[in-house]
Amino acid sequence: MNAPEPKDAFKVVGTRPIRPDGVDKVTGKAIFGTDYKAANMLAGAIVRCPHPHARIKSIDTSKAEAVAGVKAVVTGADFPSVEDTIVRMGETSASTVDMAQNVMARDVAYYDGHPVAAVAAISQEAADEAAALIVVEYEQLPYHIDINESFKLDAPAINPNLKATGLAEGEKVSPNVTTKFPYAKGDADAALAGAAATVTAHYTLKPVHQGYIEPHACVVSWKPDGKIDIWCSSQGAFNIRGLTASFLHVDIGSIRVMPLEIGGGFGGKNSVYLEPVAALLSKKSGRPVRLLMSRSDVFRASGPAPGAEIDVTLGADAQGNLVGAKVEFVYSAGAFRGTDAMPGVMHAICHYKVPDFSLIGWEVLTNMPKHAAYRAPGAPQVNFAVECALNELADKLGIDPIEIRLKNAVGPGDPGMMGAPLGNVGLIECLEAAKAHPHYTAPLGEGQARAVACGSWMNYGGPSTASVSLAEDGSVLVATGSPDIGGSRASMAIMASETLGVPYEQINVVVADTSSVGFSMVTGGSRTTYATGIAVIDAANAVIDICKQRAAKMLDVDVSTIEWIDGEAVETGNGKRLSLRQIAEKSGATGGPISFEKGVSPLQHLPGYSAQICDVEVDRETGNVSVVRYTVVQDVGRAIHPAYVEGQMQGGAVQGIGWALNEAYIYNKDGRLDNAGFLDYRIPVASDMPMIDTVMIEKANPGHPYGVKGVGEVPIVPPLAAVATAVGNAIGKRMRDLPISPERVYAALNEG
Amino acid sequence: MRVIVMPPFDREFFGGTDRFEITGRTLFGVVNRLEELGPGFADLADVRAAFAVDGVVQADWSVPLEGVQEVVVMQKVAGG
């Protein structure tokens, strides 16, 4: 595969047509997870533990069962035991024991909000009334919200059965350590000892939520024949199917998941929370059951991204060339094992050439909800620390912050973190574009300051399936198993249109249910336009081959004389043409309906890079920080639909700005979440933000027919350091603890 | 053929050893040999591991490894 150069080789790729699902979404016709209703459906309610850590001594459901209209009650005792096996989960894996216990506590509840029982009744009012009557007797246990407390050698164990991975033989650590991920090259200490300048600092971040607007919701029907239908929104219907089957000990094929429209996920809807509970309630009641999280439930019980404690030392020679780095961080995992330590280590310094380094990532349990992926999971936290330290190092050496990055940036052919040479990557072009951008040299107003930061994300490919078929009139139907979160219907239609040579409007894209198309991994990891796109292109090319064979039959010539030009079969020599419509209309007489389904598992994805410029203005009387100008420059590969690529860049940057300035999980002294709602957990809204400028660096990926790279995750990586450094520049103090709330800025301005 | 096992698999399955000389016609053969050296690895390999063959990540384990110098076994990276 080789993406054509130059870009004008394309007819449809790179254009900005209206998204196929746009009208439904702006007119309120689209059916999201919270909208779906089934006939004869019951309403469900979940009882959640009010303590951060407690043994469940008893659960009395008798009063709840006596409430008029109650049809079923379940607790942990109703769930099958789950063997500790590893299952596919996004691009990584997770223990089913952990996830099953997260769905419904068994003997121990591990966090404020952990489900302990559930009810289904004929009305929401009856379900809520019954849930309130379930009596749970708890024995409260020691708990840890703070990472440092949990990380202590003598800390009480949150889960005595936990076995840490990655430890050296005989290594003594806290009983709450889940993972140690060390990775080193050369002698970092010696390299740093010989550096012309070094910076050593400690950084902290709190857990933050993905902040999707649509709460988790599902309707599940366990039918008398043992088949289970699930209607829900998620980042991956096949993930919901596989995990639910695993928790309930049923065959995967007996579950059919119907994907509904999704109102945001950002990694937080790769997992399963409600579906197995609703399934058991449905099995007991014999009726479909709907479960819906409140906003408070979403915050208390679905995954935030890890908080972190991070130590960084960077060293450079007098010219600004990095000579060594030491990074050690501890991420909170929540109540169950996490997966962010490894990507944290792999993204700490991977965008720079550092000859000698020592990187150590730890994860520890804390009594919070099980942490979940959030856009470039594990990367923003450690990148915040490294990029802030690099800005400090540039200041120390008197070197421009973009210049020091250009001196050290990786380029094509440089070894990646795992040693394999990087492909056609564009960090250097991003930095050069940022340096040349008018924003970088624009005058600043009073109280304003500027900073830059970079970041990277590996991206991914993996398994996807797509089918392409022709209707009788020649219109094209594309079905994928990839939920449309960021405009993938449009990008799939564009790629099918480009391949087939038919107008975009002639392509109809659906997100199929799990029984109607082959397996696809989640829409996440910045993989869908790349991997599912290849499946669509391959299936479309196969349909072209079929059409050429059918045209040859219709024209009574050898297929070798047929070419495919602009969406038509053309007989070479005499120029006779047959349109898709003509071929489709006669398909019954030439061999039957025309369709092709293609499964792929490509891994020739390339990492994405971003350089960002941030201007802030600090109100010295209140400590309030306003972002007044922001520019995102990103290596995006080929932008299939540029408007949606720009949207990803803007959305990622805004979420990163929110992480830097506003967002944090706040627990009270009793270990309960104190800000479980959007009034107290403040995500940025449009009126908080300037227009986010975007500059797309289109450096094509040769591993995709149209040059696609993943774009959704890397834009959230740099903003934390860009904002923190800009605020620090504005007030003359380094800001190393997020969020940079007004009281922190005010304190920094007024401390001695 | 040199096989380099990256963290955490080196400590998790191979007692901290991260380099092996292994013969195998395909990645299936490499995984089977690694299973002999670190029991339990094969069960988890397709879920948790990615394989770079002479610097190129290879999804198809059946591709012949004739002439290959190096296979790097690394953990898959999660995405959101």
| Digit-coded pLDDT (tens) for A615-647 | 999 999 999 999 999 999 999 999 999 999 999
CA distance B29 to chain A (A): 20
Has residue B80 been placed in a domain? no
What sections of A34-120 are H helices per DSSP?
A: 62-65, 96-103
Q: Which of B47, B55, B74 is closest, CB to CB, to A93?
A: B47
> Token pair of A161, please?
């059965």
Residues A109 and A223 in one domain: yes
HSE-up (13 A, CA, CB side) for residue A505: 1
Residue at A365 is within a domain: no
Q: Which amino acid, one-letter code, is at A318?
A: A
Taking contacts as CB-CB distances below 8 angstroms, the residues of chain A near B68 are none
Q: Cβ(A110)–Cβ(A158) under 8 Å?
A: yes
Tell me if B59 and A179 make a contact (CB, 8 A cut-off): no
> Does A533 contact B at CB distance below 8 Å?
no
Pairs of residues, one from chain A and one from chain B, whose beta carbons lie less than 8 Å apart: 110
Per-residue model confidence as pLDDT tens digits over A115-138: 999 999 999 999 999 999 999 999
Q: Are residues A596 and A679 in the same domain?
A: no
Range of the domain at A59: 42-142+212-301
Mapped to the 3 state alphabet, what secondary structure does A306-359 carry?
A: CCEEEEEEEEECCCCCEEEEEEEEEEEEECCCCCCHHHHHHHHCCCECCCEEEE
Determine the residue among B27, B73, B76 to mutate to test chain A binding: the one whose Cβ has the most chain A Cβ atoms within 10 Å: B76
Please indicate, yes or no, if residue B20 is contained in any of the structural domains: yes
Q: In chain A, which among 114-173 make CB contacts under 8 A with chain B?
A: 165-169
Which among B12, B47, B76 has CB closest to A165?
Answer: B12
Interface of B with A (CB under 8 A): 4, 6-8, 11-12, 15-16, 44, 47-48, 50, 52, 55-60, 72, 74-80
- From A38's Cα to the closest Cα of chain B, the distance in A is 30
CATH code of A104's domain = 3.90.1170.50
Task: For residue A694, list its beta bridge partners.
Answer: A632
Are A439 and A518 in the same domain? Answer: no
Report whether pLDDT(B11) > 70. Answer: yes
Question: How confident is the model over A59-84, as a mean pLDDT?
Answer: 94
Q: Are residues A538 and A677 in the same domain?
A: no
End-to-end CA distance of chain A: 62
Residue B7's domain comprises 2-75
Would you call A377 and B79 a contact, using CB atoms and an 8 Å cutoff?
A: yes
Provide the CATH number for the domain around residue B62. 3.10.20.30
Stretch B10-19: mean pLDDT: 90
Question: Are A517 and A658 found together in one domain?
Answer: no
Instruction: Let me know whether A53 and A13 are in one domain.
Output: no
Is A93 near chain B, with CB under 8 Å?
yes
Classify residue B54: in a domain, yes or no. Answer: yes
Residue A202 within a domain: no
* Boundary (domain end) residue, out of A285, A301, A317: A301
Edge to edge, the sheet with strand A42-48 lists: A70-75, A115-121, A42-48, A289-292, A217-222, A228-232, A255-259
Q: Which residues contact A159 (CB under 8 A, 6 or more apart)?
A: A108, A110, A176, A335, A336, A365
The nearest alpha carbon in chain A to B52 belongs to A420
> For residue A203, is it within any domain?
no
Counted domains in chain A:
3
Q: Which residue of B has its CA nearest to A523?
A: B80
Identify all chain A residues contacting B5, using CB atoms and an 8 Å cutoff.
none
Question: Looking at the domain assignment, is residue B44 inside a domain?
Answer: yes
Across residues A711-727, what is the average pLDDT?
98
Instruction: For A646-677, give one letter per residue: b (16+ CB within 10 A) or e.
Output: bbbbbbbbbbbbbbbbbbbbebeeebbbebbe
* A90 CB within 8 Å of a chain B CB: yes
* pLDDT at A6 > cutoff 80: no
- Judge residue B15's burial from the number of C-beta atoms within 10 Å of its C-beta, 0-12 exposed, 13-18 middle, 19 or more buried: exposed
CA distances from A44 to A73, A118, A129, A268, A275 (A): 9, 7, 11, 22, 11
Of A87, A183, A713, the CB nearest to B80: A713
Chain A partners of B18 at a C-beta cutoff of 8 Å? none
Paired tokens of A188: 């970092």
- How large is the ipTM? 0.85
A373 in contact with B at a CB cutoff of 8 Å? Answer: yes
Inter-chain touch B77–A93, beta carbons under 8 Å: no
The per-residue pLDDT for range A279-310, each reduced to its tens digit, is 999 999 999 999 999 999 999 999 899 999 99
If asked whether residues A681 and A652 sit together in one domain, one would say yes
Question: Considering A301, A325, A343, which residue would you say is the last residue of a domain?
Answer: A301
Round the CA-based radius of gyration of chain A to a whole number and report it: 27
Distance from CA of B53 to the nearest CA of A (A): 9
Across the interface, of A373, A420, A601, the residue whose CB is closest to B78 is A373
pLDDT band at A346 (very low <50, low <70, confident <90, very high): very high
pLDDT tier for residue A13 given thresholds of 50, 70 and 90: very high
- State the best of A86, A603, A713 to mutate against chain B, taking most chain B CBs within 10 Å: A603
Residue A207 forms contact with B (CB below 8 Å) = no
Distance from CA of B41 to the nearest CA of A (A): 12
- What mean pLDDT do residues A362-384 have? 97
Which pLDDT value is given to residue B56? 82
Segment A648-682, tens digit of pLDDT: 999 999 999 999 999 999 999 999 999 999 999 99
Residue A369 lies in a domain: no
Contact indicator for A696, A711 with CB cutoff of 8 Å: no
Is residue A157 situated within a structural domain?
Answer: no
Write the pLDDT tens digit of every residue in B32-69.
999 999 999 998 888 888 898 988 888 889 999 999 99
- Name which of B7, B41, B46, B73 is nearest A341 in CA terms: B7
**Beta-bridge partners for A635:** A609, A697
Q: CA-to-CA distance for A703 and B50, rounded, in angstroms?
A: 17
Which chain A residues touch B56 with a CB distance below 8 Å?
Answer: 420, 604
Q: In whole angstroms, what is the distance from residue A340 CA to residue A179 CA?
A: 10
- Closest CA of chain B from A342, distance in Å: 7
pLDDT in tens, A174-186: 999 999 999 999 9
Q: Is residue B58 part of a domain?
A: yes
- Cβ distance A166 to B80 less than 8 Å, yes or no, reads no
**pLDDT tens readout for residues A145-192:** 999 999 999 999 999 988 898 898 899 999 999 999 999 999 999 999
Where are the extended beta strands (E) located within A601-708?
608-618, 625-635, 692-697
Residue A528 sits at φ, ψ, to 5 deg, of -70, -50
β-pairing verdict for A115-121 and A42-48: antiparallel
- Dump pLDDT digits (tens) for A527-556: 999 999 999 999 999 999 999 999 999 999
Domain final residue, candidates A277, A301, A325: A301
| Four-point Cα dihedral A735, A737, A742, A744, nearest 10 | -80
Which tokens go with A648?
């990803």
Tell me what pLDDT residue A168 has. 87
Question: B48 contacts in A (CB within 8 Å)?
Answer: 86, 92-93
Distance from CA of A475 to the nearest CA of B (A): 34
Please name the member of A180, A418, A459 whose beta carbon is closest to the beta carbon of B6. Answer: A418
Decide if A316 contacts A376 (C-beta within 8 A): no
Q: How far apart are CA B18 and CA B73, in angstroms?
A: 9
Does residue A72 sit within a domain?
Answer: yes
What is the CATH number for A672?
3.30.365.10
Q: Does residue A401 sit within a domain?
A: no
DSSP state of A531: I
Tell whether A206 lies on the interface with B, counting CB pairs under 8 A: no
CB A267 to CB B75 under 8 A?
A: no
B48: nearest CB among A86, A182, A419: A86
Beta carbons of A166 and B16 less than 8 Å apart: no
pLDDT of residue A186: 96
Q: Could you tell me which chain A residue has the CA closest to the CA of B7?
A: A181
DSSP A446: T
| pLDDT score of A88 more than 80 | no
Number of domains in chain B: 1
Predicted confidence (pLDDT) per residue in A189-238, tens digit:
999 999 999 999 999 999 999 999 999 999 999 999 999 999 999 999 99
